């Protein structure tokens, strides 16, 4: 008997919890609620020269400079903005106990859902040429499948790129509530 199914089961157990579901191009994705700081309406984004296409620039959020990533562009989709387009501000670890706040442009926010381990499947094997390391798994929610994102991996390259533009913050000990 192999220990691979047991390891996969243990990994899925760790994924159970609350997720904010967001929409990109009519597909739903889950972001761990503990990563989400706030949701704000789309506002003026100041471009930063020599950034990749998915890094749209920075915003001033209550005196803090926050880099903004367009998840549609990051995932190879056409950049589009609608009336429900918004920015989800997330907290991403940067190493050495520091974190960085980043804004993610999404088409819309659906809801916060509590996803149990029984409703999460490991990411399927799509073949040898497809990298699924940024996916935590696939969740079954209300008859639909939602892709759970590993934001640390999705944003790893962007976190390194914006590190020179935006200073890091010490990791908070508890979420600030205003």
3-state SS class at 49: coil
Domain ranges in the chain are: 4-170
Q: pTM here?
A: 0.82
Q: How far is residue 78's CA from residue 75's CA, in Å, rounded to a whole number?
A: 9
Give pLDDT, residue 178.
Answer: 42
Give pLDDT, residue 177.
Answer: 44
Question: Do 87 and 39 meet the contact criterion of CB atoms below 8 Å apart?
Answer: yes
Give pLDDT, residue 96.
Answer: 76
Instruction: For domain 4-170, give the CATH superfamily.
Output: CheA-289, Domain 4 (2.40.50.180)
Task: Give the tens place of pLDDT for each residue, 11-60.
Answer: 667 888 999 999 999 999 999 999 999 999 999 999 999 889 999 999 99
List, in order, residues 6 or more apart from 164 with CB less than 8 Å away. none
Q: How far is residue 156's CA from residue 172's CA, in Å, rounded to a whole number?
A: 20
Give pLDDT, residue 166.
Answer: 60
What element of type H or E holds 71? helix 71-74
Tell me the DSSP string of 93-133. Answer: EEETTEEEEEEEEESEEEEEEEE-GGGEEPPP---TT---T
Copy the structure tokens of residue 71. 């998840």
Question: Do 43 and 142 meet the contact criterion of CB atoms below 8 Å apart?
Answer: no
What is the C-alpha radius of gyration for the chain, rounded to an integer number of angstroms? 17
As averages over each run of 10 residues, the pLDDT of the chain (178 residues) reads 54 85 95 96 94 93 94 91 94 84 96 93 72 83 92 81 58 47
């Amino acid at each position: 008997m192999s220990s691979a199914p047991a390891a996969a089961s243990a990994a899925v157990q760790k994924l159970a919890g609350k997720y904010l579901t967001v929409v990109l191009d009519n597909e739903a994705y889950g972001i761990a609620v503990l990563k989400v700081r706030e949701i704000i309406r789309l506002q003026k984004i100041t471009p930063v020269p020599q950034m990749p296409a998915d890094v749209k620039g920075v915003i001033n959020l209550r005196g803090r400079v926050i880099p903004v990533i367009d998840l549609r562009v990051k995932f190879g989709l056409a950049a589009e903005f609608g009336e429900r387009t918004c920015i989800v501000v997330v907290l991403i670890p940067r190493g050495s106990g520091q974190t960085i706040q980043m804004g993610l442009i999404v088409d819309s926010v659906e809801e916060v859902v509590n996803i149990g381990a029984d409703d999460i499947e490991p990411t399927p094997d799509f073949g040898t040429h497809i990298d699924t390391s940024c996916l935590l798994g696939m969740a079954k929610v209300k008859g639909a499948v939602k892709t759970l994102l590993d934001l640390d991996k999705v944003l790893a390259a962007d976190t390194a790129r914006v590190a020179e533009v935006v200073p890091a913050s010490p990791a908070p000990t508890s979420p600030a509530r205003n």
